[in-house]
Structure 1
Amino acid sequence: MKEILYIQAGTLANHIGTHFWNTQESYFTYEEGEDPIVTHDISFREGLTRKDEPTFCPRVLIFDRKANFGTLSPTSGLYGDKETDALEVEQSRTTWNGNVVEYRQDSIPKSSYHTHLEEETAYPEASAPVKTSNIRYWSDYSRVYFHPRSLQKLPDHADWESLEGDWNAGREEFARHDSETSLMEDSFRLFVEECDALQGVQLTHDTATFGGFTNAFLTSFRDEFAKLPCFSFPLLSDSIPGSIDQDDAIGMRKALNDALCLRNLNEICDLSIPLQAPSTWTLDDWLEGLSLSRTSMYDTSALLSSHIETATLPLRLRGTQHDILSICSALNASGSPRFSHLSGVLPLSDPFMSEHDMKRLYDFSTSHTGRTAHVDRDIVLSRFDVSRGLTAPEVQTYDIWTELRDISPYIVHAPAYPLPSSFPTLCNTASPSSRARSARLLSSLTTTSSSAHLFAKYATLVEDATKRHTDVTNQMGLEADELRELKDELWAICDAFPEGNAGQEDLDGGEE
């Protein structure tokens, strides 16, 4: 067994993480003789509840602003309580000897979903699904207990402060948080040292709000664990290079911040799978069978989580031969830069139709502005597919289809994807009382030539910023030499990928 340590940073990342951990919780089996499909110890550690009852806690560090944790508190693990508030007040008094005037805000009420969980011991999964309109925080539909040190609450910022894309501020905030909490020495090391054979770190983070922060975290992590594999899912901002007005200061700042994140991930992580912001997803035939609101973080995070969880499922399957390093090596076999794509289709047709379903395979990593989002129009260098819920005849159909492709993928076929009551009704048109308990889907990690388009757009943006050296770059503290170095490194990453059928004119590469 090789354990995985998970890192989540940012609101969207934690929505994705909530769905991810709810799915892991659904794999637990309680019938005698029923074996789970995954090895739970890979992602969970044993712990105790407040009543000293044994429970399993995720091996995860969760970073977000304090206000975004909602009712989640270290003492309760799942729900907030007055004991937590009293503890925080008492801790604050230890640093002040004078009189204290205490003002308390009204406590945040439990979510309706958690109320149902508390009222019914044997909760009927199909009876009371989460309503999107009732979601206030990502913790509102969490079904697992967390270790107190998993919850890393960062100070809230004033409403008038816009820190999206502030690279240096994020790095400075990590330094403060690390010095105040001894994060790397205590919390992170606690999870690392209790592992028998840690296989690596899986990171999911919002680049706009936690780009500089996670970069500083990873840099510190690498200083101590230079050879430990790291597998990341950076969630890019909604500012796409090539479609940003030069007068849009915040948009330019977020795009430059994304460029810095990608450049540094190439140096620090063994493999990164950038994911485009849900607001930029195209609306076409890939949405067949889906009822999805791109403006709902609860909905979009569930879709992303289903594909992230499925694509990484081979890391947790019982008897698996895969680990983070082997998957990174398989996807980097061509010697290309350390970037791959996540694509998928949900739900699969019933019965599975290879040509129809593969045309619906949507690439969540491709920049959608000005070009297709379907991966089959680019050169695929390596591929790792995981299917969920295919029957034996459908597996044969899939295998025949893959034999006709230019490259043979690594393939894992697994049971259908579970749909706990916390999952939105994305694939259901029936009444909630008859909602499905599982879904059929396909997720794919690919190393593809279309990555060249992504890095070319960022390199072009930085090149233009170098020539202009606008107020935005001054505010970000980026010197002209730093911008030129960033531009050159982005072009180097771009040039390391084959061009596919895009042509140099589609890369906007100029003299580079």
Structure 2
Amino acid sequence: MHEIISLQFGQRSNYLATHFWNVQESYFTYNQEEQSPVDHDVHFRPGIGIDGIETFTPRTLIYDLKGGFGTLRKYNALYKSQQQASLPKGLWHGNEVVQQQPIITQNEYQRCLDEGVPPPQLSAETVRYWSDFNRVYYHPRSIVQLNDYELNSILMPFENWHVGEELFENLDKEQDLLDRDIRPFAEECDQLRALQIFTASDDAWGGFASKYVERLSDEYRRVGVWVWALEGREKMLKKQLNQTTNSARTLCAISPQSTIYCPILDPPYSLPSYLSIDLQSEWDTSALVSSAVETITMPTRLRHNGDFETSLIGEGGGLRRIFELQSAIIPERDDQINQPSNLAGKTPSATENEGNKVKVDMTTDFDIDFTVHNNPGKEQQVFNQVRVIRGLDESSEESLKDDPRLARKLGLHKGRPNVEMFVALFITLPFNNVPFQTHLRFPIIDSYPRNLFPRRNRDTGLGICAALTSSSRMGYMIKNMQTTVARTVAVAEREALVNGLGEIRELYEEGWMSDSDSVDD
């Protein structure tokens, strides 16, 4: 068994992770004769709840500020507190006045889930917190509230990168966060595969996560660290500069210590016209991000999985650890979509068999680019790419024979090999011997925005193509970060940060070659 422990830092990350866990919960099968292609033990842990009932809860730690959990309580129906909380008795024997924060009422969706009746359809107006659309029970140890700061506080905003760094150091000094929070989950694992981290990178959570990853790297040296680093879109120039500086600090601190570091714009700047999305709703935008993150990580939890991490090493010997995230929706057959998918880019792509892996041409041209928002405008060098395709329907074989254009978009035709692709299909295509095959599409469950993607049949899932790409575009992005940092950061920190970004940037410049790539004459 190769378990993955997740860590979630802050509101934006918890929106994304809640969509992720809801989708994982939808893969469960309750018929003994039917086995899910997803190995639930990767992300879920067995346990014993109240009255000795067996439980199965996510292997995750959820960190948020005071007031950030909404209606979610530490002890749920599976783990009710054995004792009623009581105020400690002091020396005062007079009248007592108890002050409590206003109780947040459940929305109709959560109330219906608790009562076991079909819930109503959610909307951006009815989702106030990430817990409003949560469908999963968590172990009490998973809930970690940080009481030093309050959500959306004006007096003490949790925005400055160094504030998050200082908060982690103070908490870790008091009670060793890894021993208290991580170790109980890690000791339950037979073979811990990776630590998956959802975090914002452009505010104080970036500083908190940076210190956390530093400790994790010392404690769990042989375990992969996958970081999904969320960045917002601020309209005010001053806040934009602050966000860019915070993101630069996070990238510089975490990427050298991680296996995957993936900056994600939430939401992306450029979106295809076929999406129906409310850009002001974190519920909507995080749902879009989750469709790509859940798809690209699918091979890591299939029962017949392969070595996903090895595919990420690429020709740089594993030195390039910063990846761009891209995706596109596979159109339904005969579906009229306003904008066709660029699943394989504008240039012809190609595939051929090599062992049990499918190879396709690399491209950075997808419908949705979650990382790069300011394309350099010239052809870029792609160093490595891992692509996952899921949800081609049962008529895919005939469709690809009848429609070479669709096959070319998907990169499913013979030619020169360049990039590894894991394919999750309903069928085995006649010219492929693919290592990952499943009937699973991306499910559109009742906690997900119903009209986000165009679909004729709203009860079926989605076909999605997602990719992690390492390209010279990242060097261009880091160069822009250096320019901003040189203008905004104080002298005491500026030189070290600019130089650190420069060292990382060199890995993503065109024509760069590592020592392992060079050959002595």
The reply to whether TM is greater than 0.5 is yes
1:67 aligns with 2:67: yes
Residues paired across the two proteins, number: 461
Q: 2:467 aligned with 1:447, yes or no?
A: no
Distance 1:185 1:455 in 2: 35
What is the distance in 1 between the residues matched to 2:241 and 2:82?
40
Q: CA deviation at 1:221?
A: 1.6
- Amino acid aligned to 1:314: P
Amino acid at match of 2:487: D
Q: 1:13 aligns to what?
A: 13
**Cα separation, 1, equivalents of 2:342 and 2:179:** 51
- 1:189 aligned onto 2:183: yes
Partner of residue 270, structure 1: 259
Determine the structure 2 residue equivalent to 1:495.
506
Structure 2: how far apart are the matches of 1:211 and 1:182? 19
How far did residue 429 of structure 1 move? 6.7
1:102 aligns with 2:88: no
Asked whether the 8 Å contact 1:8–1:204 carries over to 2, the reply is: yes
CA distance in 2, matches of 1:496, 1:293: 37
**Shift in CA distance, 318/198, structure 1 to aligned 2, threshold 3 Å:** same
Q: Which has the higher helix share?
A: 1
Distance 1:253 1:291 in 2: 30
- Once the two structures are TM-superposed, the CA of residue 164 in structure 1 deviates from its matched residue by 4.8
> CA distance change for structure 1 residues 73 and 439 in 2, over 3 Å: closer, same or farther?
same
CA 1:85–1:422: 2 relative to 1, 3 Å: farther
Identity of aligned residues (%): 28
Checking the alignment, whether the CA contact within 8 Å between 1:19 and 1:302 is kept in structure 2 is: yes
Distance 2:493 2:229 in 1: 22
SS of structure 1 residue aligned to 2:264: coil
Structure 2 CA distance for partners of 1:383 and 1:426, relative to 1, 3 Å: farther
1:61-100, Cα deviation, whole Å (9 max, x unpaired): 1111121101111111689x9x79952x54xx37x65465
* Partner residue in 2 for 1:29: 29
User: 2:258 & 2:318 partners in 1: Cα distance?
Assistant: 15
Report the equivalent of 1:282.
Answer: 270
Q: How does 1:5-404 map to 2 (within 5 A)?
A: 5-76=5-76, 87=85, 90=87, 93=88, 98=92, 100-120=96-116, 123=118, 128-155=120-147, 156-157=149-150, 159-161=153-155, 163-207=157-201, 208-238=203-233, 245=237, 248=238, 250-278=239-267, 281-283=269-271, 286-288=272-274, 290-323=275-308, 325-330=309-314, 333=316, 336-346=319-329, 348-350=331-333, 356-358=342-344, 361-369=366-374, 377-391=379-393, 392-393=396-397, 397=407, 401=412, 403=414
SS at match of 1:133: coil
Residue 446 of structure 1: how far off its partner (Å): 1.1
Partner of 2:495: 484
Contact conserved, 2:323 with 2:470, CA < 8 A, in 1? yes
Equivalent AA in structure 1 for residue 469 of structure 2:
T
Q: CA shift at 1:111, angstroms? A: 1.9
Q: 1:119 Cα deviation (Å)?
A: 2.7
Q: How far does residue 496 in structure 1 lie from its aligned partner after superposition?
A: 1.7
Distance (whole Å) between structure 2 residues aligned to residue 8 and residue 344 of structure 1: 23
Deviation at 1:296, TM superposition (A): 0.8
Query: Which of 212-221 and 490-499 deviates more?
Result: 490-499
Q: For 1:287, what is the secondary structure of its paired residue?
A: coil
Q: Matched residues in 2 for 1:327 and 1:78: separation?
A: 39
How far is 1:427 from its partner? Answer: 4.1
TM-score, with structure 1 as normaliser = 0.81
Change (3 A) 1:377 1:35: farther
What is the Cα deviation at residue 132 of structure 1?
A: 2.1
**Distance in 2 (alpha carbons) for counterparts of 1:47 and 1:335:** 37
Q: 1:435-478 deviations in whole A, cap 9, x for unaligned? A: 3241121111111111111101001112233xxxxxxx4xxxx5
The residue type paired with residue 234 of structure 1 is A
What is the aligned partner in structure 1 of residue 431 from structure 2?
none
Q: Secondary structure at the match of 2:183?
A: helix
Cα RMSD after superposing both structures: 3.1
Cα distance 1:316–1:33, how it changes in 2: closer, same or farther (>3 A)? Answer: same
- 2:373 is paired with a residue of what secondary structure? coil
Q: Partner of 1:134: helix, strand, or coil?
A: coil
Q: For 1:154 and 1:236, how far apart are their aligned partners in 2? A: 21
| SS, match of residue 419 in structure 2 | coil
Inter-partner Cα distance in structure 2 for 1:105 and 1:266: 39
- Residues 356, 196 of structure 1: CA spacing in aligned structure 2 closer, same or farther, 3 A cutoff? closer
CA contact (8 A) 1:334 1:382 kept: no
**Is the Cα–Cα contact under 8 Å of residues 312 and 385 in structure 2 kept in the other structure?**
no
Q: Deviations over 1:246-305 (max 9, x none)?
A: xx2x43332211111000112221220111231x5224xx232x2111111001101101
Contact kept in structure 2, 1:215 and 1:261, CA below 8 Å: yes
* Distance in structure 2 (CA, Å) of the matches to 1:62 and 1:395: 43
Question: Could you report, residue by residue, the CA deviation over 1:397-431 in whole angstroms, capped at 9, with x for unpaired residues?
Answer: 26654655772332222421112111111346789
Q: Deviations over 1:329-374 (max 9, x none)?
A: 25x65555310111001353435999754457235343324657xx
The answer to whether the Cα contact below 8 Å between 2:224 and 2:259 also exists between their aligned partners in 1 is yes
Letter in 2 for 1:38: V
Q: Does the CA contact (< 8 Å) of 1:78 and 1:143 recur in 2?
A: no
TM-score by length of 2: 0.80
C-alpha deviation, 1:310, in angstroms: 0.6
Change (3 A) 1:148 1:292: same
